[in-house]
Amino acid sequence: MTAIRAAGADDNPETTPDLNWLPEVGNTAADPAYPGAHAVISAAAVEVLVAVLQRDRLDFTVTSEVLPGVERSFASVSTAGEEATQSRIFAGAHFRNDLTSGHRLGRDVADFVLDHFLTRRHRQEEDDAR
């Protein structure tokens, strides 16, 4: 929101400000843009869920807190995670780079959690047997 309203101050002749612009959600939260927290959380959740469920394919429907009565259906966990990430661009809260970096961070966090905290019990037993 800030970038669009202040576009005239960026020394880029290709951008023009729109002082009255508001995102579809009406307003944006006053939180840091980088890295995108939704991207971090979504990517981490997808990685952990896919690892625990041992599959990505999963048909499910969710409702929206922001858009009452709206339901979204997904055929995979990763598709839902990607939409959750992209929604922050449409809400006017983030640039793509915020989300790309956030997604990478979320995957790294998930990898760490999976490697250090959510290992399978038989894997520990195999290590103990060595």
CA–CA dist 2, 93 (Å, integer)? 9
- Residues 103 and 39 placed together within one structural domain of the fold: yes
* 84 and 43 Cβ atoms separated by less than 8 Å: no
- Residues 16 and 46 placed together within one structural domain of the fold: no
The parent domain of residue 3 ranges over: 1-30
- The answer for residues whose C-beta is within 8 angstroms of residue 107's C-beta and 6 or more apart is 43, 44, 47
- Residues 11 and 64 placed together within one structural domain of the fold: no
- Residues 50 and 17 placed together within one structural domain of the fold: no
- Residues 67 and 111 placed together within one structural domain of the fold: yes
Residue 81's pLDDT is 93
- Residues 25 and 40 placed together within one structural domain of the fold: no
Q: Is the dihedral of CA 54, 56, 61, 62 positive or negative?
A: positive
Residue 78's pLDDT is 96
- Residues 107 and 57 placed together within one structural domain of the fold: yes
Residue 35's pLDDT is 87
Residue 29's pLDDT is 67
pTM above 0.85, yes or no: no
- Residues 100 and 74 placed together within one structural domain of the fold: yes
- Residues 53 and 111 placed together within one structural domain of the fold: yes
Residue 24's pLDDT is 67
- Residues 17 and 62 placed together within one structural domain of the fold: no
Q: Which H/E stretch holds residue 18? A: none
- Residues 11 and 45 placed together within one structural domain of the fold: no
Top pLDDT among 127 and 9 is at: 9
- Residues 55 and 114 placed together within one structural domain of the fold: yes
Report how many domains make up the chain: 2
Residue 111's pLDDT is 94
- The answer for residues whose C-beta is within 8 angstroms of residue 99's C-beta and 6 or more apart is 35, 36, 38, 39, 85, 86, 88, 89
Residue 82's pLDDT is 92
